[in-house]
Amino acid sequence: VAWLWDYIFLRLVWRPYTIGKELRAQGIHGPPYKLARGSNEDIKAMKEETDGLALDVHDHNYLQRIAPHYLRWRDQYGEPFLYWFGPKPRICIFDYELARQILSSKSGHFVKNDPPATLLDVVGKGLALLDGIDWVRHHRVIKPAFAMDKLKMMTTTMLACAQSMIKELENQACQNKNVEIEVDFNIQFRELTADVISHAAFGSSYRLGKEIFQTQHDLMAINLASLLDVQIPGLKYLPTEQNRRKWMLEKKLRSSLLQIIQQRLASTCSDNGNDLLGLMLESCVATEQGGKQGGLNMSIDEIIHECKMFFFAGHDTTSLLLTWAVFLLSAYPEWQERLRKEVFREIGRERPSADALSKLKEMTMVLLETLRLYGPALFMQRKPVTDITVGSTKLPKGVAVVIPIPIMHREKEVWGDDAGGFNPLRFENGVTRAGKVPHAMLAFSMGPRSCIDQDLAMLEAKATLALMLQKFSFTLSPGYVHAPADVFSLKPKFGLPVILRRLDGCS
């Protein structure tokens, strides 16, 4: 009875009622709460309505496709507004100063909002989702793996992986004396970044790494499909066909990760290597030996969660940055030519080094503009651990705040009248001068919880693009349909088919 009272009355009725009343009194309005379903059905219906929209390749305003509900409610109720993810209240904000205060807060007043349990199973409760003392402990172990000197060492691995992809494409292009082929770069880059992260960060065998990505990918697809469904307690324990498939995939994911960890422990007992997994395992070994590293230790279970998170964060995001950069360079051939000239000027036909890559200024500008218009991360969330006033808004404890990056990246007051257009030159004087406020760029977030690995992502993207531009020119395939989609991150719904031409022909 106590459970029923707590679950049905307090969670589904009383709390939504009181929170809604408190926020309305402050002038924060939004769609009415519907018992247990909240706004989920409305979101689903609006998304279904716009799902068929395809855009011109020079039209970068895909917000109607991925966030029609935010646009409609902002028009209807002003900003910020309140909506309901099931029975959970969420406030969507658009104000840069409010976002800055929330994201840069070091006081511990704001924590990550728990993702739905179904997503947590796939991405793992790793660094990006931890808070407080656990975050500090994990951060201290993980941060050294991404110091610049280590990243420079990783460049060799990245280049080797990218070169082998390019060689393979060159060979394909020259089969039957053709000089061009059609390639889906969405798939190609997913494989490449999977390869890089599993070699460079985890030192694992490519085959096993690839299996893990495929399993994570399949699990994510199942979980995303049911994200907006009403959550019925206990349903996830029933042996339905979908649940059984999920359990099988979860088991496979865990056992593949354990296999990588055990192989590593078995091969180098005293020295676990200098990469991420090595650092985490050392900390774990320290626990078994009595915590000699003064509280830095991680358990094997925590390491598994971190591995899931890094496999996920490390390959999905970077592969999408590359995918959208190739899309934009195909849609704007003048920029493709400009970057090719820059690559030949700074690097020639040589294999680039980390130092040479840092000289590619125009390429950095294009990548930043790609991240502004097509950044893989879409909606960040935080929730206050106590009632707190930020600016003029009083946020009640536990009410999640949503920061919609792609909408904010198109605000004309911050980015100028050409906010909707592709203009890498806006980054000519650096990222902090591109908008009217220094923290306008949110693609890697800001503050203490910003992306731990943005340098690696940028380096990997530059290395891959430089190698591609040295060897090929590319255009969008006539079969390409421009339909960016919110699939946890921003993906091209129908892939990215591109026609690739060898620059030096086939001998």
The region of 69-77, 148-156, 287-295, 453-461 touching ligand HEM under the rule CB under 6 A is 453-461
Task: Using the CB atoms, write b or e for 411-431: b if 16+ within 10 Å.
Answer: beebbeeebebbbbebbeeeb
Q: DSSP letter at 427?
A: G
- Residue 155 sits in the site that holds ligand HEM (CB under 6 A): no
Q: Can you tell me the distance from the alpha carbon of 35 to that of 17, in angstroms, rounded to the nearest whole number?
A: 10
CB-nearer residue toward ligand HEM: 98 or 127: 127
Q: Give me the least distance between CB of 286 and ligand HEM, in Å please.
A: 21
Count residues contacting ligand HEM (CB under 6 A)?
23
What is the token pair recorded at 116?
């739905």
What is the token pair recorded at 131?
């808070």
Q: Can you tell me the distance from the alpha carbon of 499 to that of 219, in angstroms, rounded to the nearest whole number?
A: 31
* Angle (nearest 5°) at CA 65 between 63 and 69: 75
Q: Tell me which of 456, 459, 465, 500 binds ligand HEM, using CB under 6 A.
A: 456
Residues with Cβ within 8 Å of 254's Cβ and at least 6 positions away in sequence, in order, are 304
CB-nearer residue toward ligand HEM: 377 or 469: 377
CB-nearer residue toward ligand HEM: 340 or 409: 409
Q: Give me the least distance between CB of 70 and ligand HEM, in Å please.
A: 17
The region of 23-31, 40-48, 153-161, 314-322 touching ligand HEM under the rule CB under 6 A is 314-322
Residues with Cβ within 8 Å of 247's Cβ and at least 6 positions away in sequence, in order, are none
The region of 57-65, 290-298, 388-396, 443-451 touching ligand HEM under the rule CB under 6 A is 443-451
Q: Give me the least distance between CB of 414 and ligand HEM, in Å please.
A: 17
CB-nearer residue toward ligand HEM: 421 or 447: 447
One-letter amino acid at 335 equals W
> In the range 199-258, which residues lie near ligand HEM by CB under 6 A?
none
- Residue 401 sits in the site that holds ligand HEM (CB under 6 A): no
Q: 65 with 111: CB under 8 angstroms?
A: no
- Residue 443 sits in the site that holds ligand HEM (CB under 6 A): yes
| Residue 436 Cα distances to 405, 418, 419, 429, angstroms | 16, 13, 12, 13
Q: Tell me which of 157, 318, 323, 423 binds ligand HEM, using CB under 6 A.
A: 318
- Residue 451 annotated as part of some ligand binding site: yes
SS3 at position 472: strand
- Residue 449 sits in the site that holds ligand HEM (CB under 6 A): yes
Q: Tell me which of 119, 451, 476, 483 binds ligand HEM, using CB under 6 A.
A: 451
405 backbone dihedrals φ, ψ, rounded to 5°: -55, -50
Q: Give me the least distance between CB of 30 and ligand HEM, in Å please.
A: 22
Task: Using the CB atoms, write b or e for 137-169: b if 16+ within 10 Å.
Answer: bbeebbeebbeeebbbebbebbbebbeebbeeb
The region of 51-59, 159-167, 313-321, 417-425 touching ligand HEM under the rule CB under 6 A is 313-321
The region of 228-236, 328-336, 438-446, 490-498 touching ligand HEM under the rule CB under 6 A is 438-446
The region of 181-189, 351-359, 450-458, 467-475 touching ligand HEM under the rule CB under 6 A is 450-458
The region of 282-290, 356-364, 451-459, 472-480 touching ligand HEM under the rule CB under 6 A is 451-459
Q: Tell me which of 85, 185, 202, 310 binds ligand HEM, using CB under 6 A.
A: 310
The 3-state secondary structure of 240-296 reads: CHHHHHHHHHHHHHHHHHHHHHHHHHHHCCCCCCCCHHHHHHHHHHHHHCCCCCCCC
Q: Give me the least distance between CB of 198 and ligand HEM, in Å please.
A: 11
CB-nearer residue toward ligand HEM: 408 or 499: 408
Q: Tell me which of 313, 360, 390, 465 binds ligand HEM, using CB under 6 A.
A: 313
CB-nearer residue toward ligand HEM: 335 or 444: 444
Task: Using the CB atoms, write b or e for 435-451: b if 16+ within 10 Å.
Answer: beeebbbbbbbbeebeb
CB-nearer residue toward ligand HEM: 34 or 139: 139
One-letter amino acid at 337 equals E
Other beta carbons within 10 angstroms of residue 479's beta carbon come to: 11
Binding mask 99-128 for ligand HEM (x = CB under 6 A): ----------------------------xx
Binding mask 367-396 for ligand HEM (x = CB under 6 A): --------xxx--x----------------
- Residue 452 sits in the site that holds ligand HEM (CB under 6 A): yes
* Angle (nearest 5°) at CA 219 between 217 and 224: 95
Tell me the chain's radius of gyration from C-alpha atoms.
Answer: 24
SS3 at position 475: strand
Q: Tell me which of 16, 20, 314, 484 binds ligand HEM, using CB under 6 A.
A: 314
SS3 at position 439: coil
One-letter amino acid at 47 equals K
| Numbered residues of the known binding site for heme | 451
Q: Which residues bind ligand HEM (CB under 6 A)?
A: 127-128, 139, 310, 313-314, 317-318, 321, 375-377, 380, 443-445, 449-453, 456-457
